[in-house]
Amino acid sequence: MVRTQILIDERHHRFLIQEARSKKISISEVVRNLIDEKQKELSEAQAKGAMEMIKGAVSGPAESIHHDEVLYR
């Protein structure tokens, strides 16, 4: 792990303290968990976006059924 230092406003600090106390973990662990959650959320959004792009690339089943005709026009 890498030690780092950040400045946050009091509202964020209170939130971190409350989360740490309620879960009986350190503030550092709360921050790591929040970062992990955000990374997972972003990865899922990127994967979903990629799937939407793939879906848009194929116009329908005709291309897969008659692929020789499409490829060798």
Tokens representing 12?
A: 């964020």
Q: State residue 56's pLDDT score.
A: 66
The pLDDT of residue 64 is: 65
Tokens 């400045």, located at residue? 7
Asked if the model's pLDDT at residue 4 lies above 90, the reply is yes
Q: Do 55 and 48 touch, CB atoms closer than 8 A?
A: no
Q: What does pTM read for this prediction? A: 0.64
Backbone φ, ψ for residue 17 (5° rounding): -65, -45
pLDDT digits (tens, 9 = 90+) for 9-65: 999 999 999 999 999 999 999 999 999 999 999 888 888 877 777 776 666 666 667
